[in-house]
Structure formats: C-alpha cells, structure tokens
Amino acid sequence: VGDTSGFLAAIFKRGIPYIQIPTTLLAQVDAAIGGKTGVDVKEAKNLLGSFYHPRLVLIDPLLLKTLNKAQMLSAIAEVIKYAAIKDKHLFKYLEDNFAKILQKDLPSLEFVILRCAKIKARIVSQDEREKKGIRTLLNFGHTIGHALEAASGYAGYSHGEAVALGMLVAADLSHKYRLISQEKVFRLAQLIKNYGLPTLIKGITLEKIIQAMPYDKKFQGEKTRFVLLKDIGCACLKNNVPYSLIKEALAKRISKK
Ligand SMILES: NC(=O)c1ccc[n+]([C@@H]2O[C@H](COP(=O)([O-])OP(=O)(O)OC[C@H]3O[C@@H](n4cnc5c(N)ncnc54)[C@H](O)[C@@H]3O)[C@@H](O)[C@H]2O)c1
Ligand SMILES: [Zn+2]
C-alpha cells in the first residue's frame, strides 16, 4: 500500500505531497522510509517506480497489536539485519529482550522501531540512489534471500525467513574470509533461532539456489558481490566472491534431513 500510494503521489499531477502511515512492522522499520516507491508488474517486481519521499512518516507501534505473528517475524528478520550491519547495541537489546518483543511489549517495540528507522534514514540520507555502496549494505542477507524466494517459487519461504537464512550464509562467508569469528556467526544464528526464524534451508537443492542467483540486482555482470560482516554491527561489501565459496557456505546451511 505504501509503495503504491507513494508512487501514485509521485506521478499524480507530476507530484503531490503525501504522508506515510505504516501499519506493519516491516513498513515502520523499512518500507515507509527511504523514498523508494513503485508497483510490481507481471514482468518484474518494482519495474515501475520512482524515488519520492513523504513529507512525514507517522509511526504508531500500537497499530502492531493486531498484526499476525508471520508478519511480525518477517519484519524481525530486517530488524536483525539492521542490528547486524550497523548497531551492536541494538543486537544486544534484541538478544536480551526477544520474549518481550515477541509479546509486542510497547516500550520494547518503540525502542526497536526508533532505532531501526534512524539507521535507515541515516543510510538513505548518505546514499539515496545507491551510488556509494552505503545503501547497498541494507541488502545484507538479500543476495541469497532473493535466490531462496525465487528457487522456492515465492511459496516456500516468506521474505523474512529467506533473509534470515541469507544472513547466515553471508555470515558463514564472512567467517570464511576471516572477517568474523565462528562465535559471532553462532550469536547471529542463536538470535535468529530465538525469534523462531529458520537457521537451516529445507526442501531446496543447492543447484536450484545457485541457478536463481545471477538475477539478483547486486550481481553486476559476472561479478558476485556480497554484503559481509566485519563485526556484529559492522558490514562491508565484497566483490568477486567465487561461486565455489558460495556453494560451500550454502551447503553448510542446507538441511541434511
Ligand atoms: N519501499 C521500500 O523501501 C520497501 C522496503 C521493503 C519492502 N517493501 C515492500 O513492502 C511490501 C510489503 O509490505 P508490508 O510488509 O508492510 O505488508 P503488506 O502491506 O503486504 O501487509 C501484510 C498483511 O498485513 C495486513 N496488515 C497490515 N497492517 C496490519 C495491522 N496493523 N493489523 C493487522 N493486519 C495488518 C495486511 O492487510 C496484509 O494482509 C512488499 O511489496 C515489499 O516489496 C518496500
Ligand atoms: Zn528485505
């Protein structure tokens, strides 16, 4: 709704002011902020769109009281993403308060939403059009995540579940590059597990996932570009990640059962 109405506001009479009032956790921490608006057409997601910022984003966490668990969880994956790439204090808060957050405790939600909204706003104000490799960091977990969604025919995993698994594969890759310790990969896996998100890929073969990968927007030509972690709360871009390494990391996360 936010993407479509934002796009309509952008093109109606060549642009009218509008306000975003997001009612899902995902929209409150992500979609309503950053000015990306658009509609999906049958050929591709977000094929028609524009950058068009709202005058105001009005967030009320009380709205989330009626949001179902699946929608909450899908957004939690993006919340974990923000913490992993930019905010080690938020990461610790998510570790310490998962029960409260899952119960939709209002002060906890307020804390988390404000923190995430600030991170997204800061990143977007530094690199609105994704030209400096800063906004790209928001794609942590999405390279493999998008491949998982596509490989399962957009029916197997929700976006959040796919992103959770994608973050773990990216963390495993980060460890292979000796950027982060095994212990930190384990912390991420434990956090994802505590929120009830998956940590193992089930029902999709390695080949299918790899086949689905080159279509990711971050694959510029033959180059395989990944967002990796240097630490909890600190991410970087890595170009030319070889397929052999991606396959090794994926294999580790594919359930043997
Ligand atoms: N523009 C961006 O930067 C950006 C970023 C991330 C995602 N997106 C887009 O956002 C879309 C997903 O949006 P979304 O996650 O906000 O979900 P949504 O609008 O698809 O809503 C999900 C479901 O929750 C219900 N719902 C919404 N608010 C509710 C509430 N308060 N209580 C009970 N039920 C409620 C809706 O009716 C719907 O069934 C996707 O199309 C995605 O591509 C855009
Ligand atoms: Zn996402």
Res 217: pLDDT: 47
pLDDT (average), residues 27-50? 91
Res 154: pLDDT: 85
| Ligand located closest to 146 CA | 2
The per-residue pLDDT for range 100-118, each reduced to its tens digit, is 999 999 999 999 999 999 9
CA distance 96 to 199: 19
Question: Annotated catalytic sites, by residue?
Answer: 14, 36, 78, 120, 130, 135, 139, 142, 146, 159
CA distance 206 to 213: 11
Entry pTM: 0.95
What are the C-alpha distances in Å from 119 to residues 1, 75, 90, 172? 23, 15, 11, 24
Res 18: pLDDT: 98
Q: Closest Cα to atom 6, ligand 1: which residue?
A: 31
Asked if 165 and 199 count as a contact pair (C-beta separation under 8 A), the reply is yes
Q: How confident is the model at residue 94 (pLDDT cuts 50, 70, 90)?
A: very high
